Structure 1
Amino acid sequence: MGDDLTGDMRRLSPAQQEAVRMRVMAAIDAGLPVVEAARVFGVSTKSIGRWRAAS
């Protein structure tokens, strides 16, 4: 992605973590497959599944 909002999310502030979650969910809502979103944003498909269930 070329910015500081990728990689190990544990190193990000809570605000940055939320920004990543929002970007991932927006990409999925726009049609990006979950597996591809996980790869692009550097998160796990398991995390994406939890975020989807919580929304």
Structure 2
Amino acid sequence: NAFMRLADMAERKAAGQEPSHEEWGFLGQCEERDDLFGDIEPAWFGRLESPLRGFVPP
């Protein structure tokens, strides 16, 4: 499972272990595969006055 593999990689990186070349490659593949909205800048949403005004969850 990709999530578990990436989580393990992150935990090892946080512990000071450098990921292998293969692991960095896997991360790059995941980023390319999951890049649904590559042109969206998260900062855009910080400028909204009230993004949830009137929103009622289902």
> Is the structural similarity TM-score above 0.5?
no
Which structure's residues are more often helix, by fraction?
Answer: 1
Structure with larger Rg: 2
Q: Which has the higher contact order (CA 8 A, sep 6+)?
A: 1
Q: TM-score if structure 2 supplies the norm length?
A: 0.38
